[in-house]
C-alpha cells in the first residue's frame, strides 16, 4: 500500500494557499492534479525532443514519433489493450462522439435502437440524441432509490432492433459502480455493441477491456494525473478496421488522389492531423505513475477514504448522501446535500476555507432531477487525499451549518 502523505510531495499545487488556507482538493471527479513527474515530462518533451511525428527522417522527429507511439503502448497496457487498439483523443467526450459519428451514424439505420441509462454524463447521452434525426430510437435504463441501475429494465428494453448498449462504468454523481460484465453479456447475447464510459473508472480501479468484453471504452487523461486535452478510446481491432475514419487530414491516410483516399493502419487512421504529441507523452507518464502505485492500491486507498468520509458525514446533522450506502459498491465520489443549504452556497463557504468541491448538476441534469434535487455538492477523492483532509472538511461543513442555521 502507498502512503498518501508521501505522494502529496509530488504535487506542487497541494502546497498552494486558497483564501489563506491550505488547499484541500476534493474536486477530483472533475479533474485531478498533476505530479511533478508529469509536469517534467512535458517540459522535457518541449526542451529536448519536440518535432512533428511520423514522416520526418530527422532525429527529433524520430524521437518524438517513438515517444508518441510508446505512449500508446503504455496507455493500452493499463486497460489490457493492444497499442494499436488505443486511439488517442482529446477526452472521453471525443471518444464517445467518435463512436457515434464513425460507427453508429454510418452503420445504423432507421428503427435501430440504442440503450443508455438515466445515470449518464451528458457526453454519453446528448451524443446519442443526435441520431434521433436518423430515426434511431434511444431508450434509458432507470435507477433505484439508492442510485443503482434497474438491471431488470434491460429485459424490458432489449429488442431485436437493439444495436448498441452503452453505460457509464462508474457514475460521476452517485458513485455507483455498474456491473459492466453483466451488461456487456446482455449486449453481446443480443448482438449489440457494448460501449463503456470509463471516465470515472479507469482512473480509480483496475479496468480490463477484455474482462468486461467492451467493444469501446472511453476515458480522459486529465482525470488520472495526466494533461488536459488528452484521452483515449479503446476499440476492438476488428471493429476499428471495419470502420471509416472520424476526421480527415494528415497522417490518417495511405494514399490520396483528388478523387479518393485509402486509410492508414491503426491507430493512426483515427488520429487525423498533428496529434497532441506532448499530451500523449505526458499521459503515458501519468499512467506510469499510477502503475507504480498499482491500480488495486489506488482503489483500496479510495475505498478507505470513502468509507471514512461516509462515516464522518453521517455525523453531520441534516446531511444526505446520494447513491449506494455501501462504500464497496461505489467510487470515491460523494454527492450530498446539507439541509436546505444551496450547493452553491455550501461550495462557496467550503472554498473560503480552502476546500475545493463541485456544486451543481455535474453534467448529468436528468439524473439530478430523478434524485429530486436541484443540484448537489460533490466531494471526490484521489490518491493524494487523506483522512485528515476529511476531518477538516467535516469541520467546515459544521461551520456552514451554523452560518445557515
Partner 1 sequence: MNIYQENVMDHYKNPRNFGKMKKPDVVSKDANMLCGDEIEIQVKIKNGKIDDIRFSGPGCAISRASGSMLSELVKGKKISDIKKIKDDDLIGMMGIELTPIRRKCALLSLRVLKNGLEKA
Ligand X SMILES: Cc1ncc(COP(=O)(O)O)c(C=O)c1O
> Is there binding between residue 404 and partner 1 (CB under 8 A)?
yes
Taking the C-alpha atoms of residue 272 and residue 251, their distance in angstroms, rounded to an integer, is 6
- Are the C-beta atoms of 350 and 342 separated by less than 8 Å? no
Which among partner 1, ligand X, its own copies, none contacts residue 261 (Cβ within 5 to 8 A by kind)? its own copies
Q: From the candidates 96, 98, 205, 363, give the one annotated as an active-site residue.
A: 363
Number of helices (H), then strands (E), belonging to the chain: the values are 15, 17
- What does the binding site for ligand X look like in residue numbers (CB under 6 A)? 29, 91-93, 121, 123-124, 168, 172, 197, 199-200, 220, 249-250, 273-274, 363
- The dihedral formed by the CA atoms of 177, 182, 188 and 190, expressed in degrees to the nearest 10: -110
Rounded least distance, CB 273 to its own copies, Å: 3
Burial string for 310-344 (b: 16+ CB within 10 Å, else e) reads bebbeebeebebbbbeebebbbbbbbbbbeebebe
Beta carbon nearer to ligand X, 273 or 318: 273
- Measured from the CB atom, the residue of 105 and 365 that comes closer to partner 1 is 365
Q: Is 65 near partner 1 (CB under 8 A)?
A: yes
> Nearest distance from residue 319's CB to its own copies, in Å?
19
- Least Cα distance to 117 among 321, 364, 374, 332 occurs for 364
In this chain, which of 1, 13, 36, 66 binds partner 1, going by CB under 8 A? 66
**Residue 278 appears among annotated catalytic residues:** no
Asked if 328 interacts with partner 1 (CB under 8 A), we say: no
**306, interface contact from its own copies, ligand X, partner 1, none, CB < 5-8 Å by kind:** none
CB of 356 to its own copies, least distance (A): 4
- Residue 294 interacts with partner 1 (CB under 8 A)? no
Positions 243 through 272 that interact with partner 1 (CB under 8 A): 254-255, 264
Long-range contacts of 307-312 (CB under 8 A, 24+ apart): 308/387, 308/390, 309/334, 309/379, 309/381, 309/390, 309/393, 310/334, 312/390, 312/391, 312/394
Q: Measured between alpha carbons, how far is 70 from 73 in angstroms, rounded to an integer?
A: 5
Q: Which three cell numbers stand for residue 115?
A: 440503450
Beta-bridged to residue 191, according to DSSP, are none
Judged by CB under 8 A, does residue 375 bind partner 1? yes
Footprint of partner 1 (CB under 8 A)? 54-57, 59, 61-62, 65-66, 254-255, 264, 342-345, 348-349, 352, 359-361, 365, 368, 374-375, 403-404
Catalytically active residues, by annotation:
363
Amino acid at each position: 500500500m502507498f502512503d498518501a502523505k508521501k505522494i502529496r510531495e509530488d504535487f506542487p499545487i497541494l502546497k498552494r494557499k486558497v483564501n489563506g488556507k491550505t488547499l484541500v482538493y476534493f474536486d477530483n471527479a472533475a479533474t485531478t492534479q498533476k505530479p511533478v513527474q508529469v509536469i517534467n515530462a512535458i517540459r522535457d518533451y518541449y526542451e529536448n525532443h519536440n518535432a512533428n511525428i511520423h514522416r520526418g527522417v530527422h532525429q527529433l522527429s524520430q524521437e518524438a514519433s517513438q515517444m508518441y507511439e510508446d505512449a500508446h503502448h503504455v496507455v493500452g497496457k493499463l486497460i489490457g489493450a493492444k497499442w494499436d487498439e488505443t486511439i488517442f483523443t482529446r477526452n472521453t467526450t471525443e471518444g464517445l462522439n467518435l463512436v457515434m459519428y464513425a460507427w453508429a451514424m454510418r452503420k445504423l439505420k432507421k428503427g435501430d435502437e440504442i440503450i443508455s441509462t438515466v445515470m449518464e454524463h451528458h457526453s454519453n447521452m446528448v451524443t446519442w440524441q443526435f441520431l434521433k434525426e436518423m430515426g434511431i430510437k434511444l431508450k434509458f435504463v432507470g435507477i433505484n432509490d439508492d442510485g443503482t441501475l434497474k438491471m431488470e429494465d434491460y429485459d424490458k428494453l432489449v429488442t431485436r432492433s437493439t444495436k448498441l448498449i452503452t453505460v457509464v462504468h462508474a457514475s460521476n454523481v452517485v458513485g455507483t459502480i455498474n456491473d459492466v460484465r453483466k451488461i456487456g453479456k446482455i449486449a453481446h447475447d443480443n448482438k449489440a455493441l457494448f460501449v463503456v464510459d470509463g471516465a470515472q473508472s479507469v482512473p480509480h480501479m483496475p479496468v480490463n477491456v477484455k474482462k468486461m468484453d467492451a467493444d469501446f471504452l472511453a476515458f480522459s487523461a486529465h482525470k488520472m494525473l495526466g494533461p488536459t486535452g488528452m484521452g483515449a478510446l479503446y476499440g476492438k481491432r476488428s471493429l476499428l478496421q471495419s470502420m471509416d475514419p472520424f476526421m480527415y487530414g494528415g497522417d490518417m491516410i495511405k494514399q490520396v488522389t483528388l478523387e479518393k483516399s485509402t486509410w492508414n493502419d491503426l491507430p493512426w487512421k483515427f488520429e487525423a492531423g498533428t496529434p497532441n504529441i506532448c499530451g500523449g507523452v505526458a499521459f503515458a507518464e501519468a499512467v506510469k505513475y499510477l502503475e507504480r502505485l498499482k491500480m488495486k492500491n489506488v482503489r483500496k486507498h479510495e475505498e478507505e477514504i470513502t468509507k471514512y468520509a461516509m462515516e464522518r458525514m453521517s455525523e453531520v446533522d441534516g446531511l444526505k448522501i446520494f447513491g449506494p450506502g455501501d462504500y464497496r459498491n461505489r467510487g470515491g465520489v460523494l454527492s450530498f446535500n446539507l439541509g436546505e443549504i444551496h450547493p452553491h452556497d455550501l461550495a462557496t463557504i467550503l472554498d473560503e476555507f480552502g476546500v475545493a468541491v463541485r456544486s451543481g448538476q455535474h453534467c448529468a441534469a436528468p439524473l439530478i432531477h430523478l434524485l429530486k434535487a436541484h443540484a448537489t455538492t460533490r466531494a471526490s477523492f484521489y490518491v493524494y487525499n487523506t483522512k485528515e483532509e476529511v476531518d477538516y472538511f467535516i469541520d467546515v461543513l459544521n461551520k456552514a451549518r451554523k452560518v445557515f442555521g
